[in-house]
Amino acid sequence: DIWSNSPAGVGVDQELISAVPSYNPNFVSRNFTDAEIAYCQKQPSPPSSFAARWVGKEAAFKSLGVKSQGAAAAMKEIEILNDEAGVPTVHLHGEAKRVAEQKGIKKVVISLSHSDTTAIAFEQRALH
Amino acid sequence: DIWSNSPAGVGVDQELISAVPSYNPNFVSRNFTDAEIAYCQKQPSPPSSFAARWVGKEAAFKSLGVKSQGAAAAMKEIEILNDEAGVPTVHLHGEAKRVAEQKGIKKVVISLSHSDTTAIAFEQRALH
Amino acid sequence: DIWSNSPAGVGVDQELISAVPSYNPNFVSRNFTDAEIAYCQKQPSPPSSFAARWVGKEAAFKSLGVKSQGAAAAMKEIEILNDEAGVPTVHLHGEAKRVAEQKGIKKVVISLSHSDTTAIAFEQRALH
């Protein structure tokens, strides 16, 4: 049955911006890389930018078909930076990168959005 | 014009968790399979889990390019179960399966998310 | 590093329906085509339909990897119409069409959803 052998390949996640504790320096330093922090702090609404990246990290784990397990180290292994054109881009490191390569995943494409209240992320992995 | 011949291939759906009447046994038994009900009732928040699967079924119809028509039978033909790794997986049955095969759709990949208030689902069909 | 060379290919956008000023005729005529306006005005909730198309246009720009720049003309170049089966379909015109062709993008597939309060769109571009 092909339907019972369907590997995950997409990931969606959402969160109320107010539920992501970006006012807590320990939370931020544990879960975001220096480059992510520098970017978010320059944005018009840092809490919205941190929240968007937070859901982006969770959605990336879903698209990879693994659980984030709430491990802080793992969250930093999913780094979301904007490229020259301003497009959010996923960079994998460490164990996350190893798992992706093992599964034959060539890249993870991402889109982020936030309204006044809610941040949402969508991700899709590509095998070629 | 290639732009006017663009078959649907993705599906998104969202709903307030409070708007999905999972407290109604008739609604549940009409729209969810026994395996789905058993899974949702074991979760920390059954209403959130039922709502996530409900929007997952709607998004699946959108990704297949057909309308759900609110038909109860049709909703059961889109069965969303977690695989061994805990990843939500779409199993098609009956008419939904027949339509997918007719369109050459090999699988539907899915991701689910719920915040405190809202459930959201994203789906993508794959032709190979 | 393949991870630093990841072109955008998906787009998500959301907005509170109340934040899209579809009650303003100037906003509507600047941003929607005649066919889109005719469709939305026939729907049960025109504000919801206009909002869904509005976020659909924004998500389309994201999936193309370009910025909408808030240019009114650009918004009309992303036209979202339903096909015979009732499936929302993206039609590109003008500069948006030219950029897509230049990037080798063959089509953009889309899904729209609105709850009582929020409209959301997801889009994916296809290279073949």
Q: What is the pLDDT of residue A107?
A: 85
B-proximal residues of C, 24-43, CB under 8 Å: none
Distance, CA of A58 to CA of A108 (rounded, Å): 13
pLDDT of residue B115 exceeding 60, the answer is yes
Distance, CA of A101 to CA of A86 (rounded, Å): 26
Query: Per 3-state DSSP, what percentage of chain C is helix, strand, and coil (rounded to 5)?
Result: 45, 25, 30
Residue located via tokens 């929007």: B55
Tens-digit pLDDT profile for residues A39-79: 999 999 999 999 999 999 999 988 887 765 555 458 999 99
Cα dihedral value C2, A10, A30, A19, nearest 10:
150
The answer to whether residue A87 neighbours chain C at the CB level (below 8 Å) is: yes
The answer to whether residue A102 neighbours chain B at the CB level (below 8 Å) is: no
Identify the three-state secondary structure at position B5: coil
Distance, CA of B16 to CA of A27 (rounded, Å): 29
ipTM of the complex: 0.82
Taking the CA of residue C83 and the nearest CA in chain B, the distance in Å comes to 8
Q: What is the pLDDT of residue A92?
A: 93
The answer to whether residue A126 neighbours chain B at the CB level (below 8 Å) is: no
Chains touching chain A at 3 or more Cβ pairs under 8 angstroms?
Answer: B, C
Chain A residues touching B97 at Cβ < 8 A: 3
Q: Of C90, C112, C121, which is closest to B6 when you measure between CB atoms?
A: C90
> pLDDT per position in chain C (128 positions), as tens?
233 233 558 899 999 999 999 999 999 999 999 999 999 999 999 999 999 999 999 999 888 887 655 555 589 999 999 988 788 999 999 988 988 888 888 888 899 999 889 999 999 887 65
Which carries the bigger pLDDT value, residue C72 or residue A26?
A26
The answer to whether residue A14 neighbours chain B at the CB level (below 8 Å) is: yes
| Contact call for residues A118 and A14 (beta carbons, < 8 A) | yes
Which candidate in A122, A125, A127 is best for mutational testing of the C interface (most C CBs within 10 A)? A122
Distance, CA of A28 to CA of C89 (rounded, Å): 40
A118, β-bridge pairs: A16
Q: What is the DSSP string of chain B?
A: -GGG-----EEEEEEEGGGS-TT-HHHHHHHS-HHHHHHHHHSS-HHHHHHHHHHHHHHHHHHHT---TT-HHHHHHEEEEE-TTS-EEEEE-HHHHHHHHHTT--EEEEEEEE-SSEEEEEEEEE--
Distance, CA of C52 to CA of C20 (rounded, Å): 9
Is the Cβ pair A89, C118 closer than 8 Å? no
Which candidate in C1, C2, C4, C6 is best for mutational testing of the A interface (most A CBs within 10 A)? C6
Mean pLDDT (chain A, rounded): 85
